[in-house]
């Protein structure tokens, strides 16, 4: 209590006494203000979490009660006229807008990264397809070479090589006889 007085803060009992109401009624007024401002920490609190009130708070309560006695007025509607609801909502909206902007930026970055990954996947798929085609072509060439090797082995076994040698030798011998320089060589 001494600490509260030194900071010009009033306890609920002191504030209720200044207003001429009960502590329960003061609590009701405080709850109306907290709902109106959408700020559950509108009033200062002590270590026991009890609300503490300034002289300005007491004057605002008096004004709220006075306005509530007007035609078609309630404590809630009078509190809306006294307490800054739009500032709280504007700040809240600004925070929400900021969060929305951050989320949209994050989403845009993620979408960009996703597109890059999709392009990389397409490029890798194309490389894989090209490699598969190259493999198939090499396999065809290998099969062709194997077949040619097998034919050579079969030809060698059947004596075709002997026939080819004989033909080459005959051709060479024929060529030697017909050339003009062979006259000088003999």
- CA pseudo-torsion sign 21, 24, 26, 29: negative
Higher pLDDT, 9 or 158: 9
Given the DSSP bridges, would you call strands 51-52 and 44-45 parallel, antiparallel or unpaired?
Answer: antiparallel
79 in the same domain as 6:
yes
What is the C-alpha separation between 148 and 152, in angstroms, rounded?
A: 6
The pLDDT tens digits for 44-96 are: 999 999 999 999 999 999 998 898 888 888 888 888 888 876 454 555 677 78
Provide the mean pLDDT of the chain.
82
Domain carrying residue 111: 86-160
Strand partners, 52: 44
**Co-location of 18 and 72 in the same domain:** yes
Instruction: State pTM to two decimals.
Output: 0.43
Please indicate, yes or no, if residue 11 is contained in any of the structural domains.
Answer: yes
> Comparing 150 with 114, which gets the higher pLDDT?
114
pLDDT mean over 135-140: 94
Q: What total number of domains does the chain contain?
A: 2
Helix axes 23-37, 85-158, angle to 10 degrees: 50
Query: Is 161 in contact with 155 (CB distance < 8 Å)?
Result: yes
Do residue 21 and residue 63 come from a single domain?
A: yes
- Final residue of a structural domain among 61, 83, 105: 83
Same domain assignment for residues 55 and 79: yes
Euclidean distance between CA atoms 30 and 162, whole angstroms: 119
76 and 122 fall within a common domain: no
Q: Are residues 21 and 70 in the same domain?
A: yes
């Amino acid at each position: 209590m001494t600490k509260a007085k030194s900071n010009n803060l009033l306890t609920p009992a002191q504030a209720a006494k200044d207003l001429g109401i009960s502590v329960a009624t003061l609590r009701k007024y405080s709850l109306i203000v907290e709902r109106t401002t959408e700020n559950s920490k509108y009033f200062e609190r002590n270590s026991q979490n009890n609300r503490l009130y300034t002289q300005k708070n007491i004057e605002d309560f008096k004004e709220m009660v006075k306005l509530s006695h007007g035609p078609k007025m309630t404590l809630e509607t009078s509190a809306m006229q006294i307490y800054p609801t739009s500032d709280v909502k504007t700040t809240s909206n600004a925070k929400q807008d900021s969060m929305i902007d951050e989320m949209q930026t994050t989403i845009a970055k993620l979408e960009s990264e996703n597109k890059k990954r999709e392009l990389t996947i397409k490029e890798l798929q194309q490389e894989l397809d090209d490699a598969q085609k190259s493999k198939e072509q090499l396999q065809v060439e290998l099969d062709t070479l194997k077949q040619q090797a097998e034919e050579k082995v079969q030809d060698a076994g059947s004596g075709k090589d002997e026939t080819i040698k004989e033909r080459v030798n005959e051709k060479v011998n024929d060529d030697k006889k017909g050339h003009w320089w062979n006259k000088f060589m003999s």
